[in-house]
Amino acid sequence: MSEALSRVYEVCEEIGRGQFGRVFRCLNLSTNELFACKSIDKRVLADSIDRECVEKEPKTMLCLSSHPNIVSIHEAYEDDSHLHLIMDLCEPGLDLYQLLSGGAVPEQEASVIAASLMEGIAHCHRRGVCHRDVKPENVLFDSVGRLKLADFGSAEWFGDGRGMSGVVGTPYYVAPEVLQGREYNEKVDVWSAGVILYTMLAGFPPFYGETAQDIFEAVMRGNLRFPFRAFRNVSAGAKDLLRRMLCRDVSRRFSAEQVLRHSWILSAGDDTNF
């Protein structure tokens, strides 16, 4: 453990494990505030790609500075073997994946969650950062229930107008243009958030398959349906927004800012305009 780190923080129990390291709850000894400490073991980084990935994540998070719907990074400590990142603390074990394991969520709750998620994504896009792996496991909640978008390990810069490439993401949530191997832009995050919103309302994902290949084929077809048994009580406003987020034509797909201005989001799911 870095000496500089232990002068300022007491590192407590482990609350999570990732590919490159472990996450601990920690206490700032002078302010008594709680944080999360992600300790990356530099010795397990196999090659330059791993190293680049680990170095890029904190740089990206620092550029996003503090936003209420993004896990912020506060400090970094480095010693010979580890890089320790002090971040906002979220509730261990409570993420959107966990919440969705209970099935569909009520429409108003889904609207509030979608609005916070889109606030976080819109902030990234304003700063020229595309998250590229928006999925329920990366949507955490802090101790007062505030949503925090996490895990910027796959994020990429697009700020200078350049397109992005490379297949990144997770089968159910990845946008069709990513799978097609074409250049893409930040609207891939809006697609992924649309998949999350659909799953919150229906209790199952919009593009389904038994294997990763089957899921990819369903995503590529992009055939958006609203089965009656799952959507009979879902408002027309919610379905309108889903069509605009899960639109295969990228030029017609809503941007994050447009999603935030949609009446279903502005009315917190209580929209009577449709």
Ligand X SMILES: Nc1ncnc2c1ncn2[C@@H]1O[C@H](COP(=O)(O)OP(=O)(O)OP(=O)(O)O)[C@@H](O)[C@H]1O
Using rule CB under 6 A, residue 17 touches ligand X: yes
| Shortest spacing between CB 53 and ligand X, in angstroms | 9
**DSSP readout, 113-153?**
HHHHHHHHHHHHHHTTEE-S---GGGEEE-TT--EEE---T
Q: Which residues contact 265 (CB under 8 A, 6 or more apart)?
A: 111, 114, 115, 118, 241, 259
| Shortest spacing between CB 17 and ligand X, in angstroms | 6
38 is in an annotated binding site: yes
H/E run at residue 59: helix 48-63
Number of residues that bind ligand X (CB under 6 A): 19
Using rule CB under 6 A, residue 83 touches ligand X: no
CA distance 120 to 256: 9
Catalytic residue selected from 47, 79, 80, 133: 133
Binding test (CB under 6 A) with ligand X, winner from 26, 36, 122, 139: 36
Is residue 133 among the annotated active site residues?
yes
C-alpha R_g of the chain: 19
CA distance 33 to 178: 41
Using rule CB under 6 A, residue 87 touches ligand X: yes
Using rule CB under 6 A, residue 21 touches ligand X: yes
| Shortest spacing between CB 78 and ligand X, in angstroms | 17
Using rule CB under 6 A, residue 101 touches ligand X: no
Binding test (CB under 6 A) with ligand X, winner from 7, 18, 236, 270: 18
Contact 81, 43 (CB under 8 A): yes
| Complex with ligand X: residue 122 or 150, whichever CB lies closer | 150
Contact segment (CB under 6 A) with ligand X among 12-20, 174-182, 211-219, 225-233 equals 12-20
User: In the structure encoding, which two tokens stand for residue 115, read together?
Assistant: 């609005």
